[in-house]
Amino acid sequence: MNIIFYHPTFDSKSWIEGINQRLSDAKVRAWHRGDQDPADYALVWHPPQEMLAPRIDLKGIFVMGAGVDAILTQELRHPGTLPAGVPLIRLEDTGMALQMQEYALASVLRYFRRMDEYQLFQQQKQWRPLPAHQHSEFTIGILGAGVLGSAVAQKLTELKFKVRSWSRTPKSLPGVESFYGDDRLADFAKGCKLLINLLPNTPQTAGILNKNLFSQLCSGAYLINLGRGMHLVEGDLLKALDGGQIAAATLDVFVEEPMQRMHPFWSHPRVSITPHIGADTLPEEAMDNIVANIRAIESGREPIGLVDRTLGY
């Protein structure tokens, strides 16, 4: 079994050794330009076009992340980058769900307990107690009810928050009010005091965080974007912040990463920024997932995380 590996920043040596330890009969190599030797599987992140295009005999292409929007966009711009008929498989969970739970909880509790406002008061040397938010009036809406969205929803319900979810197709999560379909998006948003975005990036979801959606939320709502930068219409958020419809926003993902130094988000007093660290790929967990999927394919079973290219996830 031959496996090729490409990642522009990961240490290929540690990944090759890790996969070899888990699959003793595998020969894993780092792919370099000009490598046309046989391969059964490919492990990739932002691969060059010529790496995969001619490899129609691959049994599977593993994307080393939960999102596949980058490689699907590459295929859209350069048709043939992904060989037709080869299964595309993304990482599911592999430690990312726990990381997203941690990030979401930290941000939700910061707003729920009004710590962001107290931080501003401290800078102004103001001793100013605020009325506490109440669980009954602090409905949290989660855009996306997949592995990550459902994990965040579960943790929030454990803390007695009222949680609702929206997805493009029907989903049922314990203790969560579920909405699905474009015609229910406005109903989902009405009454939400805090919105968390964990949608995949697809042509259908691009720009979903916009003025129309913001206007449906409770006045003075909060936004946490953990999906992709393309989901957010940045100008609409700035206007919503300045008008008070959105009280504050925590952003981990951006249209351009890193942001330009003059971007208004850097200096906005009600915007908190982190550099796309919501959930990192954890090598050990990711390698376990990939190897388990390779064994599934070799045994004639369907892998976990198989991507529907038409849906984009």
Paired with 226 in beta bridges are none
The model carries a pTM of: 0.93
The residues annotated as belonging to the active site are 228, 276
Count CA within 13 A, CB hemisphere, residue 56: 3
Instruction: Tell me what percent of the residues of the chain surpass a pLDDT of 90.
Output: 93
Q: Which pLDDT tens digit goes with each residue over 63-106?
A: 998 889 989 999 989 898 899 999 999 998 789 999 999 999 99
From CA 63, how far away is CA 55, in angstroms rounded? 16
pLDDT at 188 exceeding the cut of 90: yes
Residue 8's identity, in one-letter code, is: P
Q: What is the pLDDT of residue 39?
A: 98
With bands split at pLDDT 50, 70 and 90, how would you rate the model's confidence at 34? very high
* Rg (alpha carbons) of the chain, rounded to whole number: 21
